[in-house]
Amino acid sequence: MLDSIRALWRSSKRAARVSPEARTPAKAQPGHAAPRTSQPAPLYGPQKMPVSAEQVAAMRAEVGAAVAQGIVAQPTEAQWAMILSSHPATCVVAGAGSGKSTTLVLRVVFMWCHLGIPPEDMTVISFTRASCEELRHSLQRVLSFEPWRQRLAPEDAAHLEERCRTLVSTFHAALGRVSRRVWGRAEWFDLIEPNATLRDERADDLDNPVLGGPLTKGQRDLLNTAYRSLFNEDRVFRQHIIALLRHECDRHTLLRRNSAEVKHLQLASERDLELAQRIQARWGKDWVLPGVDPTPFVAFRANNLPFYANGRIIKTGMPIFLSLGGMKDDKFLFSKDDRIGQGKRAFSVVGALTIRRQIIERYCDREVLHLDHTEKLEWLRYRLEHLADEDFRNVSAPAFDVQLRGEPKAVGVVEAFYAQANFMESLGLDVAQACQRAQGQLASGSSEWHFCAALARFWPSFEAQLRSLAVPMRRFNRAFLDLGEQAPTQPAVPADALRPFTHLLIDEFQDISPQIVSWLRAMQRRVRALGAAPSLMAIGDDWQSIYGWRGSAPDLFIDFARHFPVHPQLGGPLQCRLMDNFRSVEPILRDAERIVAAVGVKVDKQAQPRRRADPALDHGVRLIKGVQVRRDPKAVVAAIHEQLAFVRSLARSDKNKILVLSRSNETLNTVEKALRKAGGVKPGEVRFETFHRAKGLQGEVAILCENCVYEESHPLRNAIYAASGLFRQSYDEAARDEALRLAYVAVTRGIRRVLWFVDQPKGASALLPSRP
């Protein structure tokens, strides 16, 4: 079966165009977690899991009874193959709505109640906390069915909720438990904010590439400390940062000419000379130093508007800005009542200083010195007398925004470092090495080239800082790597901490990253070294892989046999294919398949609709053009009311009547607000989710509110992809495919109808036929 997948893959148009070198497995390089090269030792087999005919017969009989009581639906034969598998490595290739998650629950029941595998030896993994919650809930409900409950050990039956809670886990929670046993308790950098609500919001944002996971203040502070000290200590790093800043400044002065910020700049510029003089007056006689010209002068221009430094170092011309923080002798130089400017234009001096600081950071493309404390004058005097000018190091590290090409928005430079480093780590790469290799693929001197050079120096320095804290801090990605196959020293994991890794069942496997694959293999190799026989059931739909932007790769699922080696006696992993679709009517499925047809690298399959459509009422995707939902949500609100009337008229409906889906939270908020204002909706009837968060959900009608298209080019990530040797496609090609898959996920949420509002059809929506 797997050969047929490979054949399908090879025959796909895009794969046919891939160069022969790209198709051969990449060579293992230091810092790489995947792919595997020479024939690795088998991880599974040769023994199968002992499954007897009696166990199978008993399970079938009990499922029959559960079906009769409406506890579960009657599994199809394909689903039975998954439930009863005796193979230690099973790969379940399925379509959307084919009952993957539902059948996974029955597989766990079979393993626990019939094969006698205790929950301590299993882990069921899903990606988000919401989907874990749903799985736990179904598992607990199904295991409460009397024949199965009776088969549980009395201790397990008495603590069923707790057992299910531990059994079903995200990758990160499972990693957290092992890390604690290996290295003891520690703070996680990734969870710095001890505020549950904030963490929840962040977790949601993590699912949305438009927002990206924003850092908390605590995280940003640690990153900034590392950044500032490296900027002062490392001349090469400083040069790259300044070059990067110049690139950004050029971009800003060009791009922002007509933006609101220009107005802001104009006001700031008009008061700038007065501001410089006011500060200077407060510093008074302190501000007279040999070697310094203390006369304000135009140090730089932003959008051609002048901005003043307080003076300059005579020998080098380096501008000096005073009191950017507004402090002298540990007191604020100005109170909040101090104003600058007259009448309507009067503005607080403290506010004006803050704005000036931001303007300098953003727009000044030369090295400057800023002195925010009189003590710094002493330091400056010392330097001017004793050291060569080029040794100036205490130039404050600039805090500025970077928008790498291909990224949806500009973020602070340390945030950009953090995001791209995490992406590289998810691919199982060592950040410094990956950056160095990627530089070879980038235009020398480009913004991305400097970014890579700076990140290669920053990341090891940041990691060293985390290690040196009084209470050391750990990062999830570092822990995955340190427990993975490529770790230079393999930490010993206590046998009882390894037990849950004996039998792994992983839902949504298409979204796994190379780094996690390396970690899982390393954990199961440890299990095997203890003499136990590990097993893995990977359940997924490569058409629904939507986390490539975060470093996941559908290739790992598509090429399962290569990444999870099975003993030759077993002739490869077991393939189960679930092609029935229990969710959506046929017109929806066929439209969804039209979209996926344009995906370059995929497994070919066709869903068999099991739900009968009512041609008078149900329909595929109805595209409504010419609507900019964020500007004017009226049309969507009207559609929600109309579709609600339809769903309310049905004898039976799903718990989600209407799912409103969009790529960004902003659009969802706009519609939600407009709907609240319009009224007419009962609580729980309409659910709002981003395309990413909607995975695994369903609703009678799905209403999509935004195009789903990737039109960018991301030179940095293309370079990382190319340098890693892991992928057949460039990052841009993979991201274009991913936008189509995201649209596939969104469309297949609908049970009976899908409406899609777009301004102009683009990307996925352009692949759909126009219908009245």
Ligand X SMILES: Nc1ncnc2c1ncn2[C@@H]1O[C@H](COP(=O)(O)OP(=O)(O)OP(=O)(O)O)[C@@H](O)[C@H]1O
- Pick what 212 binds: ligand X, Mg ion, none; C-beta below 5 to 8 Å, kind-dependent: none
Residue from 541, 591, 706, 737 touching ligand X (CB under 6 A): that is 541
Smallest distance, Å, CB 94 to Mg ion? 9
Name which of 124 and 705 has its Cβ closer to Mg ion: 124
Among 85, 90, 98, 422, binds ligand X (CB under 6 A): 98
Taking the least distance from each CB to Mg ion, the nearer of 428 and 696 is: 696
Is residue 97 part of the contact set for ligand X (CB under 6 A)?
yes
Gyration radius of the chain over CA positions: 30
Q: Site size for Mg ion, by CB under 5 A?
A: 3
- Minimum separation from the CB atom of position 748 to Mg ion (A): 11
Contact flag: residue 101 with Mg ion (CB under 5 A): yes
* Residue with smaller CB distance to Mg ion, 128 or 718: 128
At closest approach, how far in Å is the CB of 76 from ligand X?
5
Question: How far is Cα 767 from Cα 603, in angstroms, rounded to an integer?
Answer: 19
DSSP letter string over 257-305? TTSHHHHHHHHHHHTHHHHHHHHHHHHGGGG--TTEE---EEEEEETTE
99 is in an annotated binding site: yes
Write down the least CB distance from residue 70 to ligand X, Å.
11
Minimum Å gap between C-beta 82 and ligand X is 11
Give the span between the Cα atoms of 419 and 416, in whole angstroms: 5
Specify the residue, 471 or 651, whose C-beta has the smaller distance to ligand X.
651
The residue (of 544 and 667) whose beta carbon lies closer to ligand X is: 544
Determine the 3-state secondary structure of 457 from DSSP: helix
Q: Report if residue 540 touches Mg ion, rule: CB under 5 A.
A: no
Residue 573 binds ligand X, judged by CB under 6 A: no
Distance CA 46, CA 356 (A): 70
Concatenating the DSSP letter of every residue in 330-371 gives TEESS-TT-EESSGGG-EEHHHHHHHHHHHHHHH--S--EEE
Region near Mg ion per CB under 5 A, out of 2-10, 99-107, 185-193, 231-239: 99-107
Q: Identify residues 475-534 at the interface with Mg ion (CB under 5 A).
A: none
Binding letters toward ligand X, positions 71-90, x by CB under 6 A? --xxxx--x-----------
Contact (CB, 8 A) for 110 and 50: no
- Pairing between strand 89-94 and 535-540? parallel
Contact 469, 221 (CB under 8 A): no
Answer whether 520's CB lies under 8 Å from 504's CB. Answer: yes
* Side chain identity, residue 646: F
Residue 702 near which of ligand X, Mg ion, none (CB within 5-8 Å, type-dependent): none
Give the binding range for Mg ion (CB under 5 A) out of 95-103, 701-709, 726-734, 742-750: 95-103
d(CA 574, CA 2): 8
Q: Select 97 or 406, whichever has its Cβ closest to ligand X.
A: 97
Q: How far, in Å, CA of 318 to CA of 243, rounded?
A: 17
Identity of the residue, 282 or 590, whose beta carbon is nearer to ligand X in the bound complex: 590
Which option in ligand X, Mg ion, none does residue 73 bind, with CB closer than 5 to 8 A by kind? Answer: ligand X
The residue type of 139 is L
Residue 696 engages Mg ion in binding (rule: CB under 5 A): yes
Look at residue 102 and give the partner it binds from Mg ion, ligand X, none, a contact being a CB closer than 5 to 8 Å depending on partner kind.
ligand X
Contact 121, 108 (CB under 8 A): no
Burial of 338 (0-12, 13-18, 19+ CB in 10 A): middle
The answer to whether the annotation marks 101 as part of a ligand binding site is yes
366 near 321, Cβ under 8 Å?
A: no
Judged by CB under 6 A, how many residues of this single chain contact ligand X? 18
Instruction: Confirm or reject binding of residue 56 to ligand X (CB under 6 A).
Output: no
CA dist 477 and 457 (Å) reads 18
**Which one of 54-62, 96-104, 142-150, 273-281 is the stretch in contact with ligand X (CB under 6 A)?**
96-104
CA atoms within 13 A on the CB side of 637: 19
Near ligand X in 685-714, by CB under 6 A: 696
Please answer whether residues 328 and 283 qualify as being in contact, where contact means their C-beta atoms are separated by less than 8 angstroms. Answer: yes
97 binds, among Mg ion, ligand X, none (CB under 5 to 8 A by kind): ligand X
C-alpha–C-alpha distance, residues 451 and 103, integer Å: 46
Q: Is residue 97 a contact residue for Mg ion (CB under 5 A)?
A: no
Binding span for Mg ion by CB under 5 A among 200-208, 307-315, 351-359, 689-697 = 689-697
- Tell me if 96 is assigned to a ligand binding site: yes
- Dihedral over Cα of 305, 309, 312, 316: its sign: negative
CB of 656 to ligand X, least distance (A): 11
Pairing of strands 122-125, 168-169: parallel
User: Of 67-75, 98-106, 151-159, 328-336, which part binds Mg ion (CB under 5 A)?
Assistant: 98-106
Nearer to ligand X, 406 or 609 (CB): 609
CA 724 vs CA 29, 34, 47, 130, 717: distances in Å: 9, 9, 35, 32, 10
Q: How far is the CB of 101 from ligand X (least distance, A)?
A: 4
**Least distance to Mg ion from the beta carbon of 510, Å?**
11
How would DSSP label each residue in 599-657? -SS------EE-SPP-TTT--SEEEE-S--TTT-THHHHHHHHHHHHHHHTSSS--S-S
Q: Cβ closer to Mg ion: 48 or 137?
A: 137
CA dihedral in degrees (124, 126, 131, 137; nearest 10)? Answer: 0
Which of 35, 45, 88, 99 lies at the binding interface for ligand X (CB under 6 A)? 99
Query: Considering only 96-104, 427-435, 451-459, 677-685, which stretch makes contact with Mg ion by CB under 5 A?
Result: 96-104
Select the residue interacting with ligand X from 96, 174, 453, 740 (CB under 6 A).
96
Of 29, 55, 86, 102, the residue at the interface with ligand X (CB under 6 A) is: 102
What residue number has its CB nearest to ligand X?
A: 99
Q: Which of residues 294-333 bind ligand X (CB under 6 A)?
A: none
Token pair in block for residue 529: 């070294």
CB 510 within 8 A of CB 545: yes
Task: Give 291's contacts (C-beta < 8 A, 6+ positions apart).
Answer: 313, 314, 315, 384, 385
Q: How far is CA 536 from CA 90, 271, 318, 412, in A?
A: 6, 67, 63, 41
**Residue at token pair 């120096």:** 457
Residue 751 backbone phi and psi in degrees, to 5: -90, -50
Kindly state the smallest distance separating residue 607's Cβ from ligand X, in Å: 10
From the CB of 742, what's the least distance to ligand X, in Å? 13
Residue number with CB closer to Mg ion (36 or 100): 100
- The smaller minimum CB distance to ligand X, of residues 97 and 600, is found at 97
769 and 617 Cβ atoms separated by less than 8 Å: no
State the DSSP code for 428.
T
Told to check if 744 binds ligand X by CB under 6 A, we report no
Q: Which is nearer to ligand X, 429 or 504 (CB)?
A: 504
- The token pair at 291 is 């070697």
Scanning residues 138 to 197, which ones bind ligand X (CB under 6 A)?
Answer: none
Going residue by residue from 583 to 622, which x/- string records binding to ligand X, judged by CB under 6 A? x---------------------------------------
**335 marked as binding residue:** no
Question: Is omega for the bond preceding 587 within 30 degrees of 0, making it cis?
Answer: no
State in angstroms the smallest separation of the CB of 742 from Mg ion: 16
* 94 is known to lie in a ligand binding site: yes
Tell me the window of 98-106, 263-271, 303-311, 360-368 that interacts with ligand X (CB under 6 A). 98-106
| 63 membership: H or E segment, kind and range | helix 53-68
Annotated binding site: 94-101
Give me the residues that bind ligand X (CB under 6 A), please. 73-76, 79, 94, 96-102, 541, 544, 582-583, 696
Annotated binding site for ATP: 94-101
Give me the residues that bind Mg ion (CB under 5 A), please. 100-101, 696
